[in-house]
Structure 1
Amino acid sequence: MLKRLAIIGFGSTLIGVGINGFILPFHLINGGFFGISLLLNYLWGLKAGVMFILLNIPVYLFAYKADPFYFVNGLIGAIISGMMFEILMPLNGTIQLPIISSVIIGAVIIGIGVGVMLRFHISPGGMDLLALLIAKWSKVNVGVIIFATDTVIILTGLLLLQNARFFYSLIIVAIVGLLATIITSF
């Protein structure tokens, strides 16, 4: 249990640092429920960490019935990830880099955090939990599933906010998906 909590703490911290330090300053999004939470924050000013936890509820109810092991790991992962996101919010705007550098560094940090958690069958959020369950049933790599769903979220954000900078978000999704695929392939 301590090893699992250490993995969740490590992964959640990386996700919080990557999003708050490198993605939020440019009002970009990553995928999954974090991406949807950020969209809700940008559109209506809702607290992204709180929205992230609330959006996870339906997926976790499904996971509870489908696979209790994934449910418990995912629930702890989502709560700690949401808390770390809020705790690390003061990083927003403290790191001054050009947008492409920020996108690449942030995506690598997030990708490592997500990949490490997924490697140990722990999800940092509902979409990732859903991807873990689909990967378990379909034998498709979880990183590929995450990349596909995250791309849909980014394209939705692009259409809703009509901000060309969201094309940078596609780079984030590609790097996170690639790192998750690599880390979970071993």
Structure 2
Amino acid sequence: MQKKIITIAFASILIAVAINGFIIPLHLLNGGFWGISILAHYLWGYKIALTFACLNIPIYLIALKYNNVFFFNGLLGTCFVTVATDLLSPLQHMINLSFFTSIILGSIILGMGVGLMLKFHTSPGGMDLLALMLSKWFKINVGLIIFTLDLLIIASGVILLQDEKIFYSLIIVSMVGIITMMMTSIKSIIFE
């Protein structure tokens, strides 16, 4: 259990660094409920971590009804990542790399954070938790489910923000999906 908590905390920091240090400064989106939360921040100035926590409530009610383990693991992951994202929000003004370097580095860090959590059957919340449940029910790779849902969020962002730059978010979603699929598919002594 201690190894799981340490891994979740580390993964949460990775996710928070990627979101605050690389995605938001470029005015791009992520997928999932983070993407929706970031989009609400861009459109209406909502606090990202608080919006994310609120969006998770219906998913946790579903998880509580169908699978207590997913509920508790997801709640743990969401609490850690929400707090980390809020605490590390000053990074939004501290990292200044080139556009494509930020996209690539941010995607790798984010994918590793999400992949680590999912490897330990924990979710950083939201659609990742929903994808984890769907993966178990339908025997589909969790990374593939996340990738599909993320594409829908990015398409919504392009339409609502009417900014062609949002298309670059597809690189983030693609890389995070690929890294997540690799991390959840490959058996490793490091993660087991």
Shorter-chain TM-score range: over 0.9
Counterpart of 1:92 in 2: which secondary structure? helix
Which residue identity does 2:152 align to in structure 1?
Answer: V
RMSD: 0.7
Describe the superposition over 1:128-180 as per-residue Cα deviations: whole angstroms up to 9, x where unpaired.
00000000011110000000000100110010001111111000000000000
Match runs of 1:49-128 below 5 Å? 49-128=49-128
Displacement after TM superposition at 1:94 (Å): 1.0
Q: TM-score, normalised by structure 1?
A: 0.98
Which residue identity does 1:106 align to in structure 2?
Answer: G
Runs (5+) with no aligned partner, structure 1: none
Partner of 1:2: 2
How many residue pairs match? The answer is 186
Q: TM-score, normalised by structure 2?
A: 0.95
Stretches (4+) displaced over 2 A: none
Partner of 2:148: 148
Runs (5+) with no aligned partner, structure 2: 187-192
Displacement after TM superposition at 1:93 (Å): 2.3
Describe the superposition over 1:59-101 as per-residue Cα deviations: whole angstroms up to 9, x where unpaired.
0000001110010000010111111111000011211111111
Which residue identity does 1:44 align to in structure 2?
Answer: W
Partner of 2:15: 15
Percent identical pairs in the alignment equals 52
Distance 2:125 2:28 in 1: 18
Distance 1:137 1:56 in 2: 20
Distance 2:153 2:125 in 1: 14
Partner of 1:164: 164
